[in-house]
Structure 1
């Protein structure tokens, strides 16, 4: 390859110089994280050190760091410095997803902790969602899903026994409810909604967050063989999670 001409080198220099310094600092910090040189929880260089590296004023460096903090790329700990923020776990919204597969796809370990497995009955609010009469039998499970030891979802699920008669006999430390239901009650359709809600005290305790912390809450019902098979509410810490989707 021919060496760059003086003109091309000058054009490159002009292009670099036209980028504001604060943006170059942001690009550098994001690039180091994307390349894996800095990982979640790592301390990033101080504003003073970045100022020396880029020949920038403290105000300019502070702007770059503040903007990345607002974007949840970095997090500040008063008196301790600035760190790489916890990653946002990405979940697919359009498809019926298996949280264990998503964790493994990220190279992480999935674990689940059942808090409740019980026989219950449909109350006046649940019965219409299943097309059942109040008092009809249902199965109920409450499970906390973890990724690399961190709680990332509370799954509060109600199941129609007619669709999954062996639901309560499953070992949900080894198989997820989604995996079992997809095997015994083939998916016919689904409807869902998503909203941001403050975590109640019991959900907060299971997710290891403060009560009132904003959560992304996915409500979903699935049908199989002409019946509503499952109604589930899934709570995710808002600062750790995002949902994505694509329509072809």
Structure 2
């Protein structure tokens, strides 16, 4: 059997066609790729065959699939700060993106035992809680949940986080003395999958970060990003 006779040759042909369009410059980073329906019609294939082609292109890092929106040509993954703490808005601007955000939670609430332990506080103590989805050109790239000690940033809830990111504000009012990072590959909860517009089972990066300011735990953050849209790079320089 020749390669052209191989029963899976059709989905490979679709893949090669999309890759050719990308490498020739016909499709540029962030351009929308034809839908499964359109590809199936052009190549006289089933939608299942077209779906397989797009799925494999996504797994290979050639395209990014956004649930309910479509498939887009992937740009080279940006190097996101790990040891350095900086604004996600600046990171997105640095890689040529357009930053926006969706504020899901911004309130004062009582600490649960789990979060109280992380922040060296007592269960029932009051804390500021925010949940924000950060986007690049309206595509979600990061889900950020943050608990803030009111003693280090008493005006946290009064900020307009459409104009300034929590990181920018906190770095200004509560300079970091120390930071702890824990990184894991995770399967996101369904609610976070929906917020990030990703499919079940898609690999995600979880960064759990504690920071200290004024000799106390200032923040505890849970930051989750789709692995296909974001990567973390750490750099340490000894003084």
State the TM-score, normalizing by the size of structure 1: 0.69
Cα gap change, 1:168 to 1:72, in 2 (>3 Å): same
Aligned pairs for 1:22-171 (under 5 A) are: 38-40=27-29, 41=31, 71-73=60-62, 84-85=73-74, 87-171=76-160
| Aligned residue number for residue 62 of structure 1 | none
CA distance in 1, matches of 2:168, 2:125: 25
The CA deviation at 1:94 is: 1.6
* Counterpart check, 1:219 vs 2:208: yes
The CA deviation at 1:213 is: 2.2
Q: Which has the larger radius of gyration?
A: 1
Which sections of structure 2, spanning at least 5 residues, go unmatched? 1-15, 34-55, 66-70
Per-residue CA shift, 1:7-47, capped at 9, x if unaligned?
xxxxxxxxxxxxxxxxxxx9xx79x75x977422476xxxx
| Aligned residue number for residue 10 of structure 2 | none
Per-residue CA shift, 1:131-171, capped at 9, x if unaligned?
11111110100101011111111101100000100001111
| Aligned residue number for residue 196 of structure 2 | 207
CA distance in 2, matches of 1:129, 1:83: 39
Computed over aligned residues only, the root mean square deviation of the Cα atoms, in angstroms, reads 2.9
- Checking the alignment, whether the CA contact within 8 Å between 2:58 and 2:64 is kept in structure 1 is yes
* Counterpart check, 1:235 vs 2:224: yes
CA distance in 1, matches of 2:72, 2:87: 31
| Aligned residue number for residue 247 of structure 1 | 236
Cα gap change, 1:107 to 1:226, in 2 (>3 Å): same
Tell which has more relative contact order, 1 or 2 (C-alpha 8 A, sep 6+). 2
CA distance in 2, matches of 1:109, 1:74: 19
- Checking the alignment, whether the CA contact within 8 Å between 1:122 and 1:135 is kept in structure 2 is yes
Higher mean C-alpha deviation, range 236-245 or range 170-179: 236-245
- Checking the alignment, whether the CA contact within 8 Å between 2:133 and 2:144 is kept in structure 1 is yes
| Aligned residue number for residue 185 of structure 1 | 174
The CA deviation at 1:238 is: 1.2
Paired residues in the alignment total 193
* Counterpart check, 1:197 vs 2:203: no
CA distance in 1, matches of 2:120, 2:129: 17
Cα gap change, 1:136 to 1:241, in 2 (>3 Å): same
The CA deviation at 1:107 is: 2.0
